[in-house]
Amino acid sequence: MPDLTKPRDVVELLLTAQIYNQSETLTENDLPANIRKHYWNREKKQVNRPISVRIEDAAELYGIEDVMQAVGSLPFIEFEKFGAELKLTVFDLTKSWFAKQEGAIDRIRANPALASFYENDGVDVSYAEATLKAQPKERDREYLASLAAEIAASDEDVDLLALVHLVAPEDVKQRIDKLVLTRDQEDKIEKIVQAIGHREYLREIGLCEIGKMLFIGLPGTGKTSIARALSEKLNSPLVEVKLSMITSQYLGETAKNIDKVFELAKKLSPCILFIDEFDFIAKTRVSDEHAAVKRAVNTLLKAIDEISLIDDGVLLIAATNHPNLLDRAAWRRFDEIVEFPLPDARMRKDILDIILSKVEGDFDSQEISLLADGFTGSDLRMVVREAVLHALTEARMAITQPDLTDAVDEFSNRVGLMMKEYTPT
């Protein structure tokens, strides 16, 4: 049986290309992500007009082996340039044919370029709704790569990219709904989401002191995970930097690096600047009163003052395991302090259920959550990993309750080892 979705896909591409080519008001964000990514021009950071559809484009985009065979019988498609390029002959015929295909309406609703056309053509779709549904270019790794290439090309910033870790939202594996959050965390995240959705309004009413969050909590409680999940949810590229990485033994360099990182974030806007190990600089300050250290701290505080979610589109998230090391000057620069407490029994159960969701076996996560008092989310991951690996050593895919309880015991021993002091004999 011929696969009827292939011709529909190719026709969607041809229609989208034609509509995009003819309407200068449409932007890259009006294209479906797969088409935009395929036609992305890295140097120009855009999708060049006109989009032309060659056989190899259709083949690559939709995994079609024989494009001619798939669409050759459609009366409104012709092959030009010695058969290499696909063209629409009768647009009217094409648009009616496409709208009648199975699943086409859903495609139009997720394709703003098509929706902009069809909503004026009597089809029950809306361009405004389609733009809400479509994924913006900021989500694409191609987009981030373009910006990174541009920054790398401006000579003096060459090593800048070595200081930071850039992540495109589409590459983030962690989903926010797969994290177990406290009520307070949920509320604060929702506030930020709203602030980002209403940047213009907040600017108009002059409320600019928004968008700097400090995450505090023990290792393994989900600080990095939330920052990444937010990047995915908000379609904002993530600029991750560990403060220890940009602190140089040549103290003058540290201040320079800090400025560079903040400049980079502004260039990548809209983005999330995630500064991990935020206490690192405070630590050096305690141990060393050298003037250059003070300068570095002041540079950091000033950089924080001068970056804004509302004006620059940069959401700043700093994270620390040692909030007590931060002085008031650092502390007061954040408008939201988000605590990451040790999960309580109910949260532990929810975390376990998420981690175990694809694991086969007969077990009771409730009981494990009660045994695992004091465990962090990351500890619970290790427990499950131990249980799964142990089962594998016995040639089992399904795990049992003893696999899990043993793993909890083993993990508790491990904590004991960590606390033990080794004195040389």
Binding of ligand ATP by 270 (CB under 6 A): no
Largest CA distance in the chain: 89
Q: How far is CA 188 from the centre of its chain?
A: 18
CA proximity to 271, closest of 263, 279, 283: 263
Which residue number is nearest to ligand ATP in terms of Cβ?
377
Shortest CB 276 distance to ligand ATP, Å: 6
Pick the binder of ligand ATP from 224, 236, 257, 369 (CB under 6 A): 224
Positions in 169-228 near Mg ion (CB under 5 A):
223-224
Residue entry with tokens 């495109």: 168
Query: Which is closer to Mg ion, CB of 224 or CB of 236?
Result: 224
Contact 333, 301 (CB under 8 A): yes
Name every residue whose Cβ is closer than 8 Å to that of residue 396 and which is 6 or more positions away in sequence. none
Q: Which x/- pattern over 222-261 shows residues binding Mg ion (rule: CB under 5 A)?
A: -xx-------------------------------------
What Å distances lie between residue 309 and 144, 213, 325, 395, 418, CA to CA? 19, 11, 26, 52, 41
Phi, psi of 206 (to 5 degrees): 75, 25
Single out the segment in contact with ligand ATP by CB under 6 A; choices: 100-108, 125-133, 294-302, 373-381: 373-381
Tokens of 246: 């940009």
Binding of ligand ATP by 75 (CB under 6 A): no
CA proximity to 39, closest of 49, 30, 24: 49
Single out the segment in contact with ligand ATP by CB under 6 A; choices: 62-70, 99-107, 220-228, 405-413: 220-228
Binding of ligand ATP by 321 (CB under 6 A): yes
Pick the binder of ligand ATP from 180, 241, 271, 296 (CB under 6 A): 180
Tokens of 260: 């560079």
Question: Residue 257: left if φ>0, alpha if ψ -120 to 50, beta else—which one?
Answer: alpha
Q: Which does 321 bind (CB under 5 to 8 A by kind): ligand ATP, Mg ion, none?
A: ligand ATP
SS3 call for 32:
coil
Binding of ligand ATP by 223 (CB under 6 A): yes
Binding of ligand ATP by 275 (CB under 6 A): no
* Residues engaged in binding Mg ion (CB under 5 A): 223-224
* Residues engaged in binding ligand ATP (CB under 6 A): 179-180, 217, 219-225, 321, 340, 343, 351, 354, 377-378, 381
